[in-house]
Amino acid sequence: MTAITLRPLAATDSIEALTALLHASYASLAAQGWNFTAVNQSVQTTRERVEAGQAFVALSASGELVGTVTIAPPKRPDGRYLGDPVPDCYTQPDTAILAQLAVHPACRGQGVAERLMDIAEDWAHAQGYAHVALDTAVPAEALRRRYERRGYARIGDVQWAGKTYRSVLMRKALGPTASTEAHP
């Protein structure tokens, strides 16, 4: 297994490189006909999404960006989420929102996604949130099962404008510590 380091996104990190990572990571989902936002989002959308919360990155031993996740505070009930009305579960004051989980295809199977989720959940817990919510495509069964194994439960669904699929909304209660793993 290659050494992977996790850390918060830094001001010096390239948003263009982060966007390219998202595109590469979500290409396999696009090939299945699912037009997730990260499949082809603009650099500006990436910037707006990471600025809305706390982004973390995974770096290879050579310093290459190989993974990312963003965890954000709840949205305003009268606001918008990527242009759509905000689902109720994303407006709860005790709930952080997990998004843009991505691992470069060459680095999959090494536990990077799990470590990214750990660090995002730990951040949410440290900020005082009791829950983390996310959404994913209903037909993306492997993704749904991954989240269920981590304790996320289906709490509803939503049809985002322009998406080729319906999304499931999921939420997880955070315990005393979201994870016990160190994040080297």
Interval 149-178: pLDDT, tens: 999 999 999 999 899 899 999 999 998 654
Distance CA 61, CA 132 (A): 30
The whole-model pTM stands at 0.90
Interval 104-131: pLDDT, tens: 999 999 999 999 999 999 999 999 999 9
- pLDDT reported for residue 83: 80
Question: What are the CA-CA distances from residue 160 to residues 11, 30, 92, 97, 127 (Å)?
Answer: 31, 16, 19, 16, 28
* pLDDT (average), residues 41-45: 96
- The candidate with the shortest Cα–Cα distance to 68, out of 17, 127, 144, is 17
**By the 8 A CB rule, do 177 and 122 touch?**
yes
